Structures are given as C-alpha cells and as structure tokens.
C-alpha cells in the first residue's frame, strides 16, 4: 500500500451542539437547534486532504464501540485508509460553539502508536504532533503540528529531532508561548532557525511563514464564522497539499488561509472541508491576496 499523506495522531468522534445561545451554567439545561456527529482531531486533517484529492491514511486508535463504528463509517465514505490500532473505547469530544468561540468536553485514553504501521503505508509525507516526529519513516516529508499543551510544556525550546521537519505549523498563541516572541512574524523567524519552514496561523488575519530568513504572509477572506472548530487542522491539510504540489511558499499560505476561512462558515470541522474544485472557485473569485515576502527583520 502507498499513500500520499499519513495523518498520525488522535482521532475523535466530535459531537457538536449547534445553535446554543449560551453555555449552560451548573445545574442548567439548554437546548441546541441541531446535533452533528463528525470525525474530529487528526481525522479532520485527513478529510481535508482526501477532499483535495490526495491518497490519505489516518493512523489513530479507533474503538470497537458505537463511537468507533460511526467514525469508521464517516472515514470510509471519504476514501480514507484507517490504519491505526483497534482499541476498546474511542476518543469523543463534545463541541459547544457559542458566539464565534467554542467550548469542549473530551474523553480520551492515551494509546501508543507503532512506527511500523506508518512505514507500511509508504507515505510521501506525514503530519504528526511535534513530539511524534520519530513515527515518520525515512524518506517521508514530516510536518509537525503543535497543540496548546505542547506549546506550554515546550516553552523556550523545541524537542530533539525537530529539525527534521519540513515545516512546523502552529497558531499565534502557541508560537508566541513557544518562542517568547511577541509577534507572529518574530515567532516564525525564531522557529525557522531550527526548521526549514515555520508557519504561524493568525485566525481571521491569515498566516505568516518564515523560511531561509525571509518572511511571507497571506491574508484571509472575511467570512461569517459559524464554527471555528478544525480551521487549523484544515489549514494544515491545504498547506501540505500545496507543498507536495510544489507551490511557492506564499502561494501555499494563500491557499491554506483561504481553505481554513472557508471552513468556518459551516458547523463542524469535517463538514467545513472544501473539495479541490470548491477551493479553486473561491480562489478565482477572491483574486490574489498574498503579500510578497519581506527581508528578515528582528
């Protein structure tokens, strides 16, 4: 078996309560307008890659319970190869979007992943957490993503072996905590001293990236946000897709920023993943929104 990209990490069944006016207080019950069950976590990135036309595998533990059955069904419908270990219980996240933000309640049990499972997929590239670069087989391009916990724990340093990543992708809050820099540009430049390319997403402000001492940036289209869940995961999917396609850094950023912005118009991360044709139509309508790279300024 051979795939373009292996998404390695943790997959969740996301249960999203749409249309809450506010979060319930202790002892209070509130009613949602709708309820959605969709793939979450690394599975959102996998869905984005598959809809962009890449052969995609998800290496993540999925249970034999009802949540696992639902998750498998959704992933198989997207043509995603599920290659992770089978466990008893599936990780589940309840997502409560309210007023452009969201709250979460999550159940997850830690599970170790086997590097040989990833190697058997012969991926061209793998997307992993910053701590799991050792799972990426030799010869595959490695893309490292962070999370809130990792950014806090690793503040001021990167783990050993981080330099093998083709790119590190992080959001503004994570990047500034990780580097101590006050701006996303400064954080990207600091991270790019250790990895080939550092990308910092800035939500509705787009993204910046640093590579070889140069900065690139891209704006994001203004959209009405219904649910921002998974926007970062889908940014990563579009960035990796663009990199594998050989696009220049600024164009990778542009496409990834637009792809992420399109996703927040829809409730749930997986449902917000556009197809290749949908992304191309959006890009044609928007026209160029990329700022040219600037010289290194610290």
Q: Over the stretch 240-293, which tens digit does the pLDDT of each residue have? A: 999 999 999 999 999 999 999 999 999 999 999 999 999 999 999 886 544 443
Residue 22, CA atoms < 13 Å, CB-side half-sphere = 5
Q: Please give the structure tokens belonging to residue 167.
A: 């790119």
- Widest CA span in the chain: 55
Q: Tell which residue, 149, 59, 58, 67, has the closest CA to residue 107.
A: 67
| pTM score, whole prediction | 0.92
Please report the beta strands in the chain, taking only residues with DSSP state E, as ranges in sequence order: 5-8, 11-18, 34-41, 56-59, 62-63, 81-82, 86-87, 92-98, 101-107, 125-129, 141-145, 167-171, 198-201, 207-211, 214-218, 290-294
Pick the CATH number of 5-10+41-64+79-87+113-294 from 3.40.1190.20, 3.40.50.800, 3.40.190.170, 3.90.550.10: 3.40.1190.20
Contact 209, 198 (CB under 8 A): yes
- Digit-coded pLDDT (tens) for 58-104: 999 999 999 999 999 999 999 999 998 999 999 999 999 998 788 99
Q: Where are the domains of the chain?
A: 5-10+41-64+79-87+113-294
């Amino acid at each position: 078996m051979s795939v373009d990209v292996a998404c390695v990490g943790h997959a969740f069944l996301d249960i999203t309560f749409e249309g809450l006016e506010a979060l319930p207080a202790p002892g209070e019950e509130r009613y949602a307008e709708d309820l959605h069950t969709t793939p979450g976590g690394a599975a959102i990135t996998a869905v984005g890659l598959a809809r962009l036309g890449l052969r995609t595998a998800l290496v993540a533990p999925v249970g034999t319970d009802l949540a696992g059955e639902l998750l498998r069904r959704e992933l198989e419908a997207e043509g995603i190869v599920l290659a992770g270990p089978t466990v008893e219980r599936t990780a589940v996240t309840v997502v409560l979007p309210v007023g452009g933000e969201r709250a979460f309640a999550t159940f997850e049990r830690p599970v170790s992943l086997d590097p040989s499972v990833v190697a058997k997929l012969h991926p061209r590239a793998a997307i992993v957490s910053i701590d799991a670069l050792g799972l990426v087989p030799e010869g595959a391009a490695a893309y490292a993503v962070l999370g809130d916990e990792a950014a806090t724990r690793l503040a001021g340093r990167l783990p050993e072996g981080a330099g093998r990543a083709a790119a590190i992708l992080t959001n503004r809050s994570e990047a500034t905590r990780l580097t101590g820099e006050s701006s996303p540009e400064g954080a990207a430049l600091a991270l790019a001293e250790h990895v080939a390319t550092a990308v910092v997403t800035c939500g509705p402000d787009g993204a910046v990236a640093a590579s070889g001492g140069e900065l690139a940036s891209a704006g994001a289209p203004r959209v009405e946000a219904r649910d921002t869940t998974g926007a970062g995961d889908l940014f990563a999917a579009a960035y990796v897709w663009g990199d594998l396609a050989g696009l220049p850094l600024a164009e990778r950023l542009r496409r990834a920023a637009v792809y992420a912005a399109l996703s927040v118009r829809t409730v749930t991360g997986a449902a917000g993943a556009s197809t290749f044709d949908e992304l191309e139509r959006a890009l044609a309508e928007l026209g160029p929104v990329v700022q040219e790279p600037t010289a290194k300024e610290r």
